[in-house]
Amino acid sequence: MTPAQRYLTLTTVVLGSSLYGTALLTTSTILPQMQGALSATQDEIAWVMTFNILATAVVTPMTGWLVSRFGTKRVMIWSIALFTLATSLCGMAQSLETLVLWRILQGGAGAPVVPLSQSILFATFPRRQHTMVMSIFGMAVAVAPAFGPVFGGYLAEMHSWRWSFYMLVPIGIVSTIGMALTLPADRLLEKVRFDWTGFIALATALAAIQLVLARGVRLDWFESTEIVIECLVAAIAFYVFLVHSLGARHPFVNLKLLSDRNYAIGLALVTIYGMLNFTPMVLLPPLLQQQAGFPDMLVGEVIGCRGVGMLVGFMTAGFMSRIDPRISMAFGFGLQTVAGLWMLTFDLNVTLEILIVNSAIQGFAVGVVWVPITAVAFGTLDAKHYAEASAIFHLLRNIGSSFFISLSIAEIVRTTGANYSRMTEMITPYNRALKMPDVTGGWNFDTVTGLARIAKEITRQATMIGYLNAFTMYTVASGLAVVFALFVRGRKAA
């Protein structure tokens, strides 16, 4: 390939791989507006994020088999094309069910893009240019999601949430056409076996658990026949997966890799990493827009600053790679803990400046810990296990995100109802605090309108307590990751 063809390939691949991250962050910005437009509850609109991430988690390990069956070029083109189609269908969705369906297709279609992008660039450029190319690729993939929420929030405020999806469609079309014209033809394909039994069993178990977490709080958990059935399905499917994986010659997930101590701890750390990465992006937009009164544009800026922090964090991680990864991970997760403790001081009068700084710190910490987690997890493994070890690694990262988001939303819904019930008990004619001059000037208890206003304020305060509980879970998970990082074997011991 000529240098011009190589850089054209780099451009189209970067455009395609940037789409997934941009769509994820942009969607988190417009969650409140979609919730109102589709008449969904807070836990229902979270399905738009959780099932998308879960679809990505399930399809990512299939990437190697897809390439062996259809070829890298064909998989990349069809992935971007289907992702673009699903994105446009998300913008056209008229109900929550159809939106979640297209988001599942979007997550599954986009799953192979990022892992294949790196292999394509390594194959396209000579080895002496790999460092330069990966730097360009990494910066572009980190910068694009930082600008996506800003433009998406602006379009949602000026027009509609649908335009936050539509703005990505032209980029997807350009990337698809560019890849069709620039990617080299595939060579002779080597057939790879795929463990369909393990894959279907694991996918069934994950989907059933996700449904339990997503719907349990509304259906009163095990008082519901649906939840009981889904738990049984998850337990049976997971049992089949474990038994099959331990006995199969070529299992979908090789559980024997867990005997490597650093790899096992790396999996625990990357699961927590996934929990911390996306959860604030799902929790903050509804809190800021619906309870604190922020417009979509400012919410987009807060989420965008997280992307900027991630970019700086990834750049800093390159300089920190020379020191012990345990120090880097403890530093990064320690910053996450500090950011979580800071969030516990938030109230409904929190300022934009505080939100931006806190979001940037979280993003910076996420960028700092990714490189050392990867180095620890794969540093002591035999190179022949990298492919399957990487599949498990990314699978758990996405599962951690999906499950923790659902748990956080369930805690917010539960706590809001409990605190609302408790706080309304205090609204009586016998409460002397309500007769103070400052209070009686702000609230009127003698009319239906006045009672509606105080009921709305109680809902806001009860919801804020729910968010503080979710932020507590975030902080505890961050602190737990610091402890796990200390159990990693040092370079000399390994």
What confidence tens digit (pLDDT) does each residue in 134-186 have?
667 766 766 666 677 777 778 888 888 888 889 889 988 988 888 888 887 77
Per-residue model confidence (pLDDT) at position 494: 43
Per-residue model confidence (pLDDT) at position 188: 59
Comparing 5 with 332, the larger pLDDT belongs to 332
Per-residue model confidence (pLDDT) at position 493: 42
The mean pLDDT of the chain is 83
Per-residue model confidence (pLDDT) at position 442: 64
Instruction: State in words which class domain 256-494 has.
Output: mainly alpha
1-191 to CATH, choices 3.10.20.600, 3.40.1390.10, 3.40.50.410, 1.20.1250.20 = 1.20.1250.20
Confidence grade of residue 339 (pLDDT, cut at 50, 70, 90):
very high
B/e letters for 231-270, b = 16+ CB within 10 Å, e = fewer, are: bebbeebbebbbebbeeeeebbbbeebeebebbebbbbbb
- How many helices (H) and strands (E) would you count in the chain? 20, 0
Q: Which of 190-194, 317-321, 359-363 has the lowest mean pLDDT?
A: 190-194
Per-residue model confidence (pLDDT) at position 231: 92
The phi-psi region of residue 154 (left if phi > 0; otherwise alpha if psi is between -120 and 50; otherwise beta) is: alpha
Q: Which of 75-84, 102-111, 312-321 has the lowest mean pLDDT?
A: 312-321
Is the pTM higher than 0.85? The answer reads: no
- Of 132, 128, 86, 80, the C-alpha closest to 106 is 86
Per-residue model confidence (pLDDT) at position 145: 65
Most confident of 7-21, 316-330, 464-478: 464-478
Instruction: Return the ∠ at Cα 132 (arms to 129 and 135), rounded to 5°.
Output: 145
Per-residue model confidence (pLDDT) at position 467: 92
The phi-psi region of residue 71 (left if phi > 0; otherwise alpha if psi is between -120 and 50; otherwise beta) is: left
SS3 322: coil
- CA atoms of 378 and 166, how far apart (whole Å): 39
- CA atoms of 214 and 353, how far apart (whole Å): 33
Per-residue model confidence (pLDDT) at position 492: 47
Per-residue model confidence (pLDDT) at position 86: 93
DSSP type of residue 194: -
The phi-psi region of residue 93 (left if phi > 0; otherwise alpha if psi is between -120 and 50; otherwise beta) is: beta
At residue 78, what is the residue type? W
Cβ-contact 29, 152 below 8 angstroms: yes
At residue 47, what is the residue type? W
Structure tokens at 89: 């269908």
Per-residue model confidence (pLDDT) at position 439: 65
